[in-house]
Chains A and B, each alone.
With several copies, the nearest count.
Chain A
Amino acid sequence: MVKMTYVEASRLAVQEAMTADETVWCVGEDLGRGSVFGQYLGLQAEFGKDRVVDTPISEAAIMGAAFGAAMVGTRPIVEMRFSDFALCATDELVNQIAKARFMFGGQSRAPMVIRKPIGLWRSSAAQHSQSLESWYVHIPGLVVLCPSTPQDNYSMMKAAIACDDPVVYLEHKNIWGLEGEVDTSLEVEIGAASRRREGDDVTIVSWSNTANLSVEAAETLAGQGISAEVIDLRALWPWDKQMVLDSVRKTGRLVVAHEAVAVGGFGAEVVATVAEHGEALKGPVRRLGAPRSLVAYAPNLEDKMRVTVDMIVTAAKETLGK
């Protein structure tokens, strides 16, 4: 067990994977200086400019070229800087990368990790704050991961690099400095959720940084005599339906919480799935997400878009009729 931050954890995973496999390389803007959040610090010095590649500001080419290089046998790690800018490479990701293997009848593979930091950070306004994980879950061909802890950002990054499918890897911009113990021998199976806390009264399903807030909420609830189970999905495709269904069967109550806009968010998929399975609930379902508005620059307005610990606590209590 080593103590490290969320950003150090994924950096270590990348560094180890690059050491172990010569075909793994990183590509994106400003990587030689570590990229915006220090995710690549030191890697160019260690592996050289040909394996930690500084690119022009050409998101479409970064994504498209990485794909071409993946098709001929390399394993690129693609840095999009802010998930918002990745929208400049949507055709490349959705029409090309996600579909090639199928369209070409299995002739090609795209073993790529596509890193798109998501989420509210601080006064970054509408073009630097989005969380669009539900988009990618809707696209067949893609694996979608949302690590929320240093341990997961280590183990899931390792799993993502090892995966032969294109993986949309969504780190959260607000927790680069989050510290935690990391066991580098721990392997995470893609698609297995993490039960961050056990409980009997209500199930809280979440992912990314909101999972951390959900754990906090569960602690508050515990202080009020309510036992909440927190499931951090970690992977949104494939996702751990079974753990969610089992938990809801046990608790009979469900809160789903995420940072993205609620309307059309992946929370809808979770709630709809539970509804379809006909689980008998003992209280109303609660789904928390951002209102269908935009992230403003002014901090007080920005805060209006946040799902907070308090909101999760309140929602959990509502499912219990409290």
Chain B
Amino acid sequence: MPETGHNTQNARQLLVMMERIRAFEEHAILAAERDKLVLGAIHPSIGQEACAAGVMTHLKRADILLSTHRGHGHTLAKGADPLAMMRELLGRTGGCCGGKGGSMHIADFGVGMLGANGVVGANITIAAGAAHGIKILGQDHIVVDIFGDGAANRGPFLEGINWASVFDLPILFICEDNQYSATTRTSSVTGGPGVAARAEALGLRATVVDGNDAEAVAQVSGEIVARLRGGGGPEFLHAVTYRHTGHTSFDPGAYRPEGEADKEIAANDPIARQRAVLLAMGLGQDVLDAIHSEAQAEMEQVLADAAATPFPPDEAAFADVQDIGSPMQEAY
């Protein structure tokens, strides 16, 4: 068991959040595969919950989060309502984006979650800009941007991180490294010693953490967030984890070496590891089981409720495009 610096209450909260994320996504997959209610692609973060749970414990509502196509967990952990999220995945009224974005564009500005993004790496510059805006406005909250290992090979990685470095912005960039870029092993298409070295070369303090260890993520991200709130410059966190599923819920992930996934899941599932932490702290198996069942029950209900919600009114197809020259007045 790692040195945690957390009490049981915190450790338990981490597990609860990870169980809720997993249950949410398991139900999202059911919605897609069993119920055929999700027509677009969903990218589950099953196996990667530690980062979402660990980092978000330190963020306030006014702090800002940006994420990727694999962003359900981050969004939920930032405080979004799972029912609004599930409605979004099903394209329904009351979805957090009114059913217009879907899984890849999940966002809840009310809790400071400014969006997942369908373009790999695109949020890196946007997040830097959100931090820039905060600085211009003289506000004191911070920004966290989470992206994948694949994004470190896109130009915006350099441009956005350099930007944060030059303007000394209150932002934490997190590379949630599940070791795959879709079906390609990221190490096979990535030069050099790794993403942390890239960030350092751009002037950021960089930390590497076991991204399957929720306690460790919570601890180091807590320290980083404290530095940011204290006026420290931008930082970088590299959290190594593993994607239990394929790239999308449709993808069996058959390109992975025989046995790799099984081994990783057996050894490094962040939920199993956090359960072990709690058992070692003295919590009973029954408590853990209850946490699990509650999360499952919550998300079962969420899915049922979302499925019972109507599709958006047709007029929504023309709303919120622009004020001037809006298609509501002039569509052609």
Q: Quick one: closest B residue to A143, CB to CB? A: B324
Asked if residues A57 and B120 are in contact (CB atoms below 8 Å), the reply is: yes
Complex Cα distance, B38 from A72, in Å, reads 31
B289 sits at the interface (CB 8 A)? no
Interface of chain B residues 162 through 188 with chain A (CB within 8 A): 162-163, 166-167, 181-184, 188
Complex Cα distance, B191 from A58, in Å, reads 13
Interface size class for chain B?
Answer: 35 or more
B319 sits at the interface (CB 8 A)? yes
Asked if residues B109 and A73 are in contact (CB atoms below 8 Å), the reply is: no
Asked if residues B156 and A64 are in contact (CB atoms below 8 Å), the reply is: yes
Asked if residues B159 and A105 are in contact (CB atoms below 8 Å), the reply is: no
Indicate with 1 or 0, residue by residue over B117-143, a CB within 8 angstroms of chain A CB atoms. 111111011111111111111000000
Q: Quick one: closest B residue to A57, CB to CB? A: B150
Write the nearest CB–CB distance from B315 to chain A, whole angstroms.
Answer: 9
Complex Cα distance, B50 from A236, in Å, reads 49
Q: Quick one: closest A residue to B107, CB to CB? A: A104
A200 sits at the interface (CB 8 A)? no
B23 sits at the interface (CB 8 A)? no
Asked if residues B324 and A191 are in contact (CB atoms below 8 Å), the reply is: yes
Interface of chain B residues 246 through 274 with chain A (CB within 8 A): 255
Asked if residues A73 and B133 are in contact (CB atoms below 8 Å), the reply is: yes
B155 sits at the interface (CB 8 A)? yes
Interface size on A, residues (CB 8 A): 79
Asked if residues B129 and A85 are in contact (CB atoms below 8 Å), the reply is: no
Interface of chain A residues 245 through 296 with chain B (CB within 8 A): 262-263, 289, 291-294, 296
Q: Which residues of A contact B100 (CB under 8 A)?
A: 102-105, 125, 294, 296-298, 301
Indicate with 1 or 0, residue by residue over A76-105, a CB within 8 angstroms of chain B CB atoms. 000000001100100110011000111111
Asked if residues A71 and B114 are in contact (CB atoms below 8 Å), the reply is: yes
Interface of chain A residues 132 through 179 with chain B (CB within 8 A): 140-143, 163-166
Q: Quick one: closest A residue to B161, CB to CB? A: A61
B83 sits at the interface (CB 8 A)? no
Write the nearest CB–CB distance from B162 to chain A, whole angstroms.
Answer: 6
Q: Which of A66, A108, A123 has the largest number of chain B CB atoms within 10 A?
A: A123
- Can you list 23 A-B pairs, Cβ within 8 angstroms, ordered by A? A50-B136, A57-B150, A64-B129, A68-B132, A72-B64, A73-B137, A84-B119, A92-B126, A96-B126, A101-B320, A107-B96, A108-B114, A125-B118, A163-B323, A164-B323, A238-B330, A291-B318, A292-B325, A296-B317, A297-B91, A298-B311, A300-B312, A304-B317
User: Which B residues lie at the A interface, using CB under 8 A?
Assistant: 38-41, 64, 66, 88, 91-92, 95-102, 104-105, 107-110, 114-115, 117-122, 124-137, 150-151, 153-156, 159-160, 162-163, 166-167, 181-184, 188-190, 255, 311-312, 314, 316-325, 327, 330-332
